[in-house]
Amino acid sequence: MSVTTTVHLNFRDEAREALEFYRSVFGGQVVAVTCGQAQAVEHPADTDRILWGEVRAENGFHVMAYDVRENQTYDAGDRPFFVSVRGEDAEEITGYWKGLSEGATIMTDLGPSGWAPLYGMVKDRYGVIWTLDVAVPYAG
């Protein structure tokens, strides 16, 4: 038996744009269904909002996103969560870093750390905080 965890990001009117951006960085396919397409419109402003969306790539990257509806409160907050991307190949991680860094705030430069050959933290243009690192085998 196995379990898969997928980050589900909440936006207000930016889910489609964010999904397309993450696809441009990590590759894969975007699937997005609006409230209107799903016949789940409770307020006219919700018609074109994403009810369910995801990016799934062959490299294992998977993120989900939706637009918070009009009748729900929304506050992106300062640091409600981090999305962690960990890989074994420094070149691959560096490529993702370069993509996510466009229009972003660098919180920790990508470089060697006490626990990984490469580690960095970036707050992307949508306010999502990403940590990227190269995994090392655990001794134990």
pLDDT at position 119 over 90: yes
Q: Which of 4-8, 32-36, 66-70, 79-83 has the lowest mean pLDDT?
A: 79-83
pTM of the model as a whole = 0.83
The CATH topology of domain 82-134 is 3.30.720
pLDDT at residue number 54: 96
Q: Average of pLDDT values for 106-135?
A: 93
Give the angle subtended at the CA of 17 by the CAs of 97 and 126, to the nearest 5°: 55
pLDDT tens figures, 77-91: 876 778 999 899 999
Q: How buried is residue 93: exposed, middle or buried, by Cβ count under 10 Å (0-12/13-18/19+)? A: buried
Report whether pLDDT(140) > 70.
no
Mean pLDDT of the chain: 92
Strand, coil or helix: what is 121?
Answer: strand
Q: In the structure, what pLDDT confidence band is assigned to residue 69 with cuts at 50, 70 and 90?
A: very high
